[in-house]
């Protein structure tokens, strides 16, 4: 068995490592290099030092995208986590107490299956679905009702002030089910005698939730916040499909970095697009590191 170890190891690693280096590592390294150049794709890239980054700082669209990421970064995790926590608490602890053991609410299995459903659909397809839901005339799902009731239609994707929120709505719609399942798994791993003890001490449902469930769920919440934060730095598919003009419209009201990168790429501003990619990378990595640091707490291990 000892003999032939190295040929075997090399044989097993060669293909994955080669593929990974060609399509992931080398483009990533090149992206950093290209961000210091001016390149339109034909003549070799021209070294221009930090000029791309200097332009970035003065680029209004870039700052618009950053401000949208800031909104997404707070709103998306906050809204999704609050809704998901609420539902998973209802599903898991909301049931009748039987002999001191609280069971899940009636039909909790059905709700969980339904809530999770959007997760298996592709974001791009969900975005097309919501384009029809949000349509600004009587053929839209929401405006059809509003206009039947004699109300004015809401211009979900056309109105600059609400376009971004309409898009956040789609992201929340998809994400909630995933986190309901995730939090449910976390809640069911909390030993029931902790709940019983707290209930015996006279804790009501609300105290149970804020004093028992929430603190014991902390590490799961942290994971959820990081996941949703990372999702907030992407949002390409949903903005690309839903926004007016497919490029973060109206008038840049929904643009995100991924959209700006793609647009500059299509305009053959390749060095500049790469600089934006580098900015995106540092923003998302800083966010992940900060979240994990700031939210660090003692974790509880059940024996």
Partner 1 sequence: MTTLKTDTPPPVVPPAPRRHAPSRPARRSEFKVLSGLAHVALAVWAIIVLGPILWTFLSAFKDTEEIFSSPWTLPGALRWENFGRAWESAHVGRYLLNSVLVVSLSTFGTMLLGSMAAYVLARYTFWGNRLVYYLFVSGLAFPVFLALVPLFFVVRDLGLLNSYTGLILVYIAYSLPFTIFFLSAFFKTLPNTVAEAAVIDGAGHMRLFFQVMLPMARSGLVSITIFNIIGQWAQYQLPVVLMSGARDKWVITQGIAEISVNAGFEADWAGLFAALTLAILPMILVYALLQRQIQAGLTSGAVK
Minimal distance, residue 28 CB to partner 1, in Å: 5
Do residues 253 and 24 touch, judged by C-beta distance below 8 A? Answer: no
Q: Is residue 149 a contact residue for partner 1 (CB under 8 A)?
A: no
Would you give the DSSP letter of residue 102?
E
Torsion region of 43: left, alpha or beta (phi above 0 gives left; psi -120 to 50 gives alpha) = beta
Q: What is the DSSP letter of 46?
A: E
- Binding of residue 181 to partner 1 (CB under 8 A): yes
Window contacting partner 1 (CB under 8 A); options: 70-78, 155-163, 274-282, 293-301: 274-282
Rg (alpha carbons) of the chain, rounded to whole number: 24
Using DSSP, state whether 36 is helix, strand or coil.
coil
Looking at residues 237 to 256 of the shown chain, list those that interact with partner 1 (rule: CB under 8 A).
Answer: 237, 240-241, 246
**Which among 149-157, 158-166, 276-284, 295-303 is the span making contact with partner 1, rule CB under 8 A?**
276-284
Of 48, 79, 223, 244, which one interacts with partner 1 (CB under 8 A)? 223
Measured CA to CA, the distance from residue 55 to residue 279 in angstroms comes to: 12
Q: Which of 148, 293, 298, 301 binds partner 1 (CB under 8 A)?
A: 148
In the bound complex, what is the minimum distance in angstroms from residue 132's beta carbon to partner 1?
Answer: 7
Within positions 81 to 110, which residues make up the interface with partner 1, using CB under 8 A? 83, 86-87, 90-91, 94-96, 105-107
d(CA 122, CA 130): 12
The piece of 56-64, 72-80, 222-230, 295-303 that touches partner 1 (CB under 8 A) is 222-230
- According to CB under 8 A, which residues from 32 to 91 bind partner 1? 34, 41, 83, 86-87, 90-91
Nearest to partner 1 of 162, 288 (CB atom):
288
> Does residue 185 interact with partner 1 by CB under 8 A?
yes
Q: Residue 135 and residue 244: Cα distance in Å, rounded? A: 12
Say if residues 207 and 265 touch (Cβ distance below 8 Å).
no
- 129: its two tokens: 């679905």
Residue 164: CB minimum distance to partner 1, A: 19
Q: What is the H or E stretch that residue 20 is in?
A: helix 5-20
Pick the piece of the chain touching partner 1 (CB under 8 A) from 51-59, 73-81, 111-119, 295-303.
111-119
Which listed residue (53, 116, 209, 218) binds partner 1 by CB under 8 A? 116
Q: Of 64, 66, 80, 115, which lies in the binding site for partner 1, with binding defined by CB under 8 A? A: 115
Q: How many residues does the chain have?
A: 303
H helices then E strands: how many in the chain?
A: 15, 4
């Amino acid at each position: 068995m000892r003999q032939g170890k190295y040929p075997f190891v090399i044989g097993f690693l060669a293909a994955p490592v080669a593929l990974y280096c060609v399509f992931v590592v080398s483009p990533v390294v090149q992206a950093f290099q290209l961000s210091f150049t001016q390149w339109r794709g034909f003549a070799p890239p021209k070294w221009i030092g930090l000029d791309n980054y200097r332009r970035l700082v003065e680029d209004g669209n870039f700052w618009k995208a950053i401000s949208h990421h800031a909104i997404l970064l707070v709103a998306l995790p906050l809204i999704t986590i609050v809704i998901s926590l609420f539902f998973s608490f209802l599903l898991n602890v909301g049931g009748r107490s039987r002999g001191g053991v609280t069971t899940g609410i009636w039909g909790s299995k059905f709700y969980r299956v339904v809530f999770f459903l959007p997760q298996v659909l592709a974001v791009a397809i969900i975005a097309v679905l919501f384009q029809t839901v949000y349509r600004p005339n009587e053929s839209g799902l929401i405006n059809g009702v509003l206009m039947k009731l004699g109300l004015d239609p809401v211009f979900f994707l056309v109105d600059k002030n609400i376009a971004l929120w309409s898009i956040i709505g789609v992201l929340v719609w998809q994400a909630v089910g995933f986190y309901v399942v995730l939090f449910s798994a976390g809640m069911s791993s909390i030993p029931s005698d902790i709940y019983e003890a707290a209930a015996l001490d006279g804790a009501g449902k609300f105290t149970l939730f804020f004093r028992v469930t929430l603190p014991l769920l902390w590490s799961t919440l942290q994971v959820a916040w990081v996941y949703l934060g990372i999702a907030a730095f992407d949002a390409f598919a949903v903005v690309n499909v839903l926004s007016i003009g497919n490029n973060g419209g109206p008038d840049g009201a929904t643009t995100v970095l991924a959209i700006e990168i793609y647009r500059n790429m299509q305009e053959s501003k390749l060095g500049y697009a790469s600089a934006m990619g580098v900015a995106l990378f540092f923003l998302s990595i800083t966010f992940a590191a900060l979240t994990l640091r700031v939210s660090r707490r003692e974790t509880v291990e059940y024996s």
